[in-house]
């Protein structure tokens, strides 16, 4: 056991006990693949603003922010009040509610491409529905996605190649319905669409770090071939701008999928877009049940969150603090002579360790490393994650998602704690 692991175990005895129980209850001991940690996960107790506390009483500055859903921070008073009030009035009324009207109207006000919406319970469901709408509206079957993009855990979203698909339990028919193309290659996409007449839609992951000319070019190429364009705004929606990635770059897709920030930290998602496409639910033949679609708690939280985001400088504040964090981490990496850099778009900070990145270019990614790739060995990042958790940072060392509640002091403390974590890993001879 390393010195970092020893300190981690000493600081988290209650989490260790819960981890032992979880191993007998859940596959791999967790309920979300990204929550796996060695030697055991940390279990959280509560959160407030940019801070969280675990079951052992340790305090953290939070940069996972509910997997990106908490741009307003933990336990925002207006969200708490809306949910508590509705909970007292009923959590499920087996009917529509006024909150779903408010929620839909807020989405339509914020996102110019959205004329109608259909609520679901997650981002994965939103993409499943968007694919279905595109197929029914176009009368075509194939969906084109970019290799390496993440669109939830449904079978179509995971299609990569026949061998991998079988391992995921994806049927051949589903694999045959999807086409993967190289990322950021407009010419390749143009050639593909020129050679086929069976493509219903192209889907783009809005939080992919891509150059503006590629994003705007997607609209041009898909229009040229009379093919629908779907924006996956599950992460980027209401974060890249108030209208998401499409608002930041001035693109109007035909359909968009939203979740995370959409529901104010509760479960919820939606598909929005052209009315004639969204209307394939019902009049077009798509039946769409779902017990918790637009449930009153999520609708109350979501409509409240979007109204706050609409009236306050939430997106701008979170992005300003992300710039401060990137600059601070880059100063640390330079002073410690560690190759790499902090980079990213909007209020998400990515950190490359061991591979160069042009930190002056907002759309740069590390040299020779796919997005989401890890230029240093995984055991180094694992040790760094434990080290920064020991220092009171709740984040992955290569990815930080900010809220508008992070103050200048929080950011400066984060930079110092991140540096302390790097120093521990260096002392262990790993970096």
Between the alpha carbon of residue 284 and those of residues 197, 277, 280, the distances in Å are 21, 9, 4
d(CA 319, CA 348): 8
Hunting for tokens 């509910």 — which residue is that? 66
pLDDT in tens, 352-404: 998 889 998 989 888 765 544 445 678 889 999 999 999 999 999 999 999 99
d(CA 287, CA 363): 41
**Beta carbons within 10 angstroms of residue 16's beta carbon:** 17
pLDDT of residue 316: 98
* Mean pLDDT, residues 81-101 taken together: 96
d(CA 359, CA 17): 42
pLDDT of residue 167: 82
Instruction: List CB contacts of 326: < 8 A, sequence separation 6 or more.
Output: 342, 343, 344, 349, 359
d(CA 294, CA 291): 9
Give all strands (DSSP E) within 168-243, no chain letters: 178-181, 199-205, 228-232
pLDDT in tens, 270-311: 999 999 999 999 988 999 999 999 999 999 999 999 999 999
If we measure between CA atoms, which residue out of 261, 246, 237 comes closest to residue 71? 261
* 418, 81 Cβ separation under 8 angstroms: no
d(CA 281, CA 132): 9
CB burial of 269-281 (b: ≥16 within 10 Å; e: otherwise) equals bbbbbbeebbbbb
What are 91's two structure tokens?
């959590």
- Can you state the angle between helices 314-335 and 296-311, rounded to 10 degrees? 80
Q: How far apart are the two ends of the chain, measured CA to CA in Å?
A: 18
pLDDT mean across residues, the chain: 95
Give a three-class secondary structure readout of 15-29: HHHHHHHHHCCCHHH
Between the alpha carbon of residue 181 and those of residues 240, 245, 270, 372, the distances in Å are 24, 21, 26, 17
Q: For the chain, where do the domains classified as CATH 3.90.1150.10 start and end? A: 3-74+314-427
* Mean pLDDT, residues 238-254 taken together: 98
What is the assigned CATH class of domain 3-74+314-427?
alpha beta
Phi, then psi, of 273 in degrees rounded to 5? 165, -155
pLDDT of residue 362: 85
Q: Judge residue 94's burial from the number of C-beta atoms within 10 Å of its C-beta, 0-12 exposed, 13-18 middle, 19 or more buried.
A: exposed
d(CA 398, CA 208): 15
3-class DSSP state of 93: coil
Hunting for tokens 């968007």 — which residue is that? 130
* Mean pLDDT, residues 222-245 taken together: 98
* 278, 357 Cβ separation under 8 angstroms: no
pLDDT of residue 372: 47
d(CA 388, CA 425): 10
CA 175, chain centre distance (Å): 24
Hunting for tokens 């809220």 — which residue is that? 403
Q: For the chain, where do the domains classified as CATH 3.40.640.10 start and end? A: 77-311
Q: Which CATH architecture has domain 77-311?
A: 3-Layer(aba) Sandwich (3.40)
pLDDT above 90 as % of the chain:
88
**Beta carbons within 10 angstroms of residue 292's beta carbon:** 17
d(CA 119, CA 123): 10
């Amino acid at each position: 056991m390393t010195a970092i692991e020893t300190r981690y175990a000493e600081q988290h005895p209650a989490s260790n006990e819960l981890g032992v129980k979880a191993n007998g209850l859940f596959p791999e001991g967790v309920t979300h693949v990204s929550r796996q940690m060695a030697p055991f996960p940390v279990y959280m107790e509560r959160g407030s603003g940019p801070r969280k506390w675990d079951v052992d009483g340790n305090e953290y500055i939070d940069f996972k922010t509910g997997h990106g859903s908490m741009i307003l921070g933990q336990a925002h008073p207006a969200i708490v009040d809306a949910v508590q009030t509705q909970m007292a009035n009923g959590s499920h009324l087996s009917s529509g509610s006024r909150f779903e009207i408010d929620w839909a109207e807020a989405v339509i006000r914020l996102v110019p491409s959205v004329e109608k919406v259909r609520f679901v319970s997650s981002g994965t469901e939103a993409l499943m529905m968007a694919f279905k709408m595109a197929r029914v509206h176009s009368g075509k079957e194939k969906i084109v996605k970019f290799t390496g993009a993440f669109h939830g855990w449904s079978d179509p979203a995971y299609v990569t190649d026949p061998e991998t698909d079988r391992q995921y339990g994806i049927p051949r028919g589903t694999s045959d319905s999807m086409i993967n193309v190289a990322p950021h290659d407009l010419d390749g996409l143009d050639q593909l669409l020129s050679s086929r007449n069976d493509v219903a839609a192209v889907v783009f992951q809005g939080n992919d770090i891509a150059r503006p000319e590629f994003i705007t070019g997607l609209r041009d190429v898909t229009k040229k071939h009379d093919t629908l364009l779907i924006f996956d705004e599950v992460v980027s929606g209401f974060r890249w701008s108030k209208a998401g990635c499409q608002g930041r770059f001035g693109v109007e897709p035909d359909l968009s999928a939203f979740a995370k920030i959409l529901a104010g930290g509760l479960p919820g998602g939606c598909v929005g877009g052209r009315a004639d496409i969204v209307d394939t639910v019902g009049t077009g033949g798509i039946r769409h049940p779902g017990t918790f679609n637009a449930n009153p708690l999520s609708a109350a939280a979501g409509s409240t969150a979007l109204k706050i985001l609409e009236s306050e400088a939430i997106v701008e504040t979170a992005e300003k603090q992300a710039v401060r964090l990137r600059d601070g981490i880059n100063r640390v990496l330079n002073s410690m002579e560690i190759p790499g850099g902090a980079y990213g778009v909007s209020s998400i900070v990515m950190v490359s360790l061991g591979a160069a990145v042009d930190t002056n270019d907002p759309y740069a990614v590390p040299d020779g490393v796919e997005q989401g790739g890890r230029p240093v060995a995984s055991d180094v990042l694992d040790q760094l994650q434990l080290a920064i958790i020991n220092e009171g940072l709740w984040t992955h060392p290569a990815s930080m998602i900010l809220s508008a509640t992070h103050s200048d002091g929080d950011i400066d403390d984060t930079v110092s704690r991140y540096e302390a974590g790097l120093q521990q890993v260096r002392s262990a001879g790993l970096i």
